[in-house]
Structure 1
């Protein structure tokens, strides 16, 4: 998503809780640590021409999408007629290095990995990935990223998430990574047709200081959601809850510490974010009486922390804070864990990889009068290209990312999602894909870190599971009806650009301390005061100024 600074596995479908808006007066947005040099970002971004949208000509979906609302198209069967979107291998024969992350089991090494070897052939270059495995508190990628930057040996392409506490990204990107604007702005992007298939909103993630600096991950509109194995919850009547206290009571009933059966994964801050939605809290920022209020300073978020503390005291959380995501999913599948938080994209990945009757816990009113919601965003991660490469190599690397972005309904996407036919997958008589044992172990684990860097625009397809595809399409449609946008998304704040990540990381660290019992809840107000004093109030003022400029002028 992730910080466990809110977004475990949420990098893909999550924008973090800090308000990932950096750009112009209502025109453009950037990624969480993205931003512009003080005093220049808004004007520069307002003048930028984003890449022209040119939709791919592929098979029509069975379940219609709605781009305006964020409903993704759904396919009940794999399309029969596939398009070849990349006619020749995009590589130049020289090795390509990449830094990325995985949120599942790491892939087998290249030497024993037929998928990876086939990828090298199809790219025309050896694709040397450094794959960091996500940890429970999302510190692993940050540590590796910082070490590589400090060494000066920066890979050709580097994934830059908005929600894992990376620091000083605007300055780093300007100094070390390529300005892609001349190659992608406006109609220039049509040279890379799969990238031109990205909707305009997706590109806003890769804009800093009026420049296109990265290839985005075109994420779904829904940021994160609760997922569960409904079999776990059957003894208490399923996944319907009347209130937060009802959820707590049912969780206590299901808890069985002797059998090591717990209710919630230990990503505390993720759960606080979901509880905040149950209480009707803000999606980072909210407007009250025309004034911006940050989530951290709201009564709803405080109530969410208080409820998370109750859950921890009741022992609902798995006791090992460093449980990896793969172990979490294994325990969900085995009935030893009740619910976990994931990005919407992570849901699609898990539904393909794990065999249990997955269901989502719809947001419900935590207490009387609460209006539950789901946080929405258009913002996601982006992948930058090493700035020391010459123009010719930068174009080659863009062509490689163009390959990774191949849409559903293309030959390239069939391979990227499934691997080598008759090795990693087979085709059923209906044309659907079906993983072999090797495919589950190799193709899925290798495709995930590739998809982290960039992938196709969102689509819904669970191989051989049309009912599951229909369910997910239904959940998405239903949840979007109570979706809550961040009013600052699309607006500029110098302070957020320079300090937003560190400020929110500090608050999340304290939230972790409170839920874990290392800090009293009574000290949270001091945490909020520090957040406001060190930049929160200044961010508010800058966003409010940008919002006021974007209002229609009265005639």
Structure 2
């Protein structure tokens, strides 16, 4: 494993792709808050049974995980690895795929020993068309749409969860295989590594009562507050009894003359954290068949009010375009910033300062704080309908190999390449990428992990105590975790207007915190406009989808 970093902070609304800190989900550090996947959803009938969940038989972790999203943790790389794939999965014919990366492009196949060895192990040449998402969120969407329009589709196409793909239900019906007969219920047991994928990830591959692709599992932990413990030592450390306690300690540490502030200038991210102290729901919540969005809650308004209080006290870094948040955190010039949990995992492998997640606490006596699950998936991979039915099982076996779990021989290779060529073993048995591994494995694997991956495990090479602390934090967060009621359901309005309407909403909220608009404008203008533009339509579409039934 490596501390080499790949930077893209923005994918799925939180942090970008990076590094190898997280086993299984290693090269992605995206975080999604879920809700209305543009590429997948589950207007599911009661007849659909999700793929059976059968945990992989791998070496026992040092700290157990569970099917709800708690990640198993390994303090050292396991020694006695299992073989999770009995035979070479491919049929000798090339396997083509459209996928994305947020890193530098990998070396071409003819100059890439890792890619060449992977082809041998797959038994088919993996030909990837790799779109570099560093150019913006619309780059992959443009390539995806152009591929569909051209008609010459690859065998496998990755459907991202939030990049605004349109007319998805009709597209799937017209161009891709219904994989329900191959994956529903016990049928998935033919592919043991796919059976190891938890329910919350599979729900993102379901639409209109059918399973349309291979779920690409991902850590379920959402956004977190990350503090520099050294920054807070003068006031007793990273411990807060209430919102007011946080505020008073922050004011005490503020030193504008030394350019020492407390909060990064990402206003809307902080608002959500403050609202969690008040117990805010996760995106959409269901009550009596009716959905309410978190924007419509009193808790969200309380988050805005507290952000205003912090702004008036000059707790935010004064330049709203601060590009060096991590550097300021490391230097002790910022006390806390908002990070995706996978981004926090990646950065934990490189921090030279003591980072600690601030578990949400009650804003005031009588409040019950909340915390939000992420999406648990980076979308799904569909199989081109032009592929003959005779070959579907071959492609599923290839995907079964690419989904090999941590603790298997296949995952050791997928994450780290060949020993002595791409990685070495330390005295303690940890796996560390070398220069060739950083150049070949790291870049190639990221493109692969977007369309096929294993459920996440925690493993930070050489940092067992950090790993132990992160797992303990996950345990605490899950005690108050809330899921988004719309996760796994499709909304055309979300696909067409979700991003733009949210962007406009957040810009207006930023204006309130910055003092350019009055707080009263939130209820009078900003929220009603969001409801008219997209919110009410999304509500109707999600309610209709949910009313059709649920997966089993």
TM category, shorter = 0.7 to 0.9
Aligned pairs for 1:41-56 (under 5 A) are 41-42=43-44, 45-56=45-56
Report how far residue 476 of structure 1 moved.
0.9
Report how far residue 184 of structure 1 moved.
1.9
Q: What residue number does 1:64 align with?
A: 64
Q: What residue number does 2:40 align with?
A: 34
Q: Does 1:407 align with 2:424?
A: no
Gaps of 5+ in 1: 21-30
Report how far residue 328 of structure 1 moved.
5.7
Q: 2:368 aligns with which of 345, 368, 371?
A: 371
Aligned pairs for 1:488-527 (under 5 A) are 497-517=491-511, 520=517, 522-525=520-523, 526-527=525-526
Count the aligned residue pairs. Answer: 523
Report how far residue 81 of structure 1 moved.
1.4
Could you say what secondary structure the match of 2:46 adopts?
A: helix
Q: What residue number does 1:360 align with?
A: 357
In structure 2, distance between residues paired with 1:505 and 1:258: 39
Aligned pairs for 1:416-427 (under 5 A) are 416-427=414-425
CA contact 1:120–1:127 (8 Å) conserved in 2: no
Q: What residue number does 2:472 align with?
A: 474
Higher mean C-alpha displacement, 88-97 vs 451-460: 88-97
Report how far residue 234 of structure 1 moved.
4.3
Q: What residue number does 1:191 align with?
A: 190
In structure 1, distance between residues paired with 2:456 and 2:141: 26
Report how far residue 284 of structure 1 moved.
1.4
Could you say what secondary structure the match of 2:424 adopts?
A: strand
Report how far residue 242 of structure 1 moved.
4.5
CA contact 2:493–2:538 (8 Å) conserved in 1: no
Q: What residue number does 1:351 align with?
A: 348
RMSD, aligned α-carbons: 4.0
Cα gap change, 1:53 to 1:120, in 2 (>3 Å): same
Could you say what secondary structure the match of 1:420 adopts?
A: coil
Report how far residue 410 of structure 1 moved.
0.7
Normalised to the residue count of structure 1, the TM-score between the two structures is 0.79
In structure 2, distance between residues paired with 1:253 and 1:174: 60
CA contact 1:13–1:222 (8 Å) conserved in 2: no
Q: Does 1:16 align with 2:33?
A: yes
Could you say what secondary structure the match of 1:453 adopts?
A: coil
Could you say what secondary structure the match of 1:175 adopts?
A: helix
Gaps of 5+ in 2: 1-7, 18-27
Report how far residue 4 of structure 1 moved.
7.1
Cα gap change, 1:128 to 1:549, in 2 (>3 Å): closer
Report how far residue 202 of structure 1 moved.
2.7
Could you say what secondary structure the match of 2:531 adopts?
A: helix
Q: Does 1:128 align with 2:137?
A: no
In structure 2, distance between residues paired with 1:141 and 1:257: 42
Could you say what secondary structure the match of 2:94 adopts?
A: coil
Cα gap change, 1:52 to 1:307, in 2 (>3 Å): same
Cα gap change, 1:354 to 1:151, in 2 (>3 Å): farther
Could you say what secondary structure the match of 1:46 adopts?
A: coil
In structure 2, distance between residues paired with 1:78 and 1:348: 17
Q: What residue number does 1:278 align with?
A: 277
CA contact 1:14–1:377 (8 Å) conserved in 2: yes
Report how far residue 373 of structure 1 moved.
0.9
CA contact 1:34–1:497 (8 Å) conserved in 2: no
Normalised to the residue count of structure 2, the TM-score between the two structures is 0.79
In structure 2, distance between residues paired with 1:531 and 1:7: 21
Could you say what secondary structure the match of 2:217 adopts?
A: coil
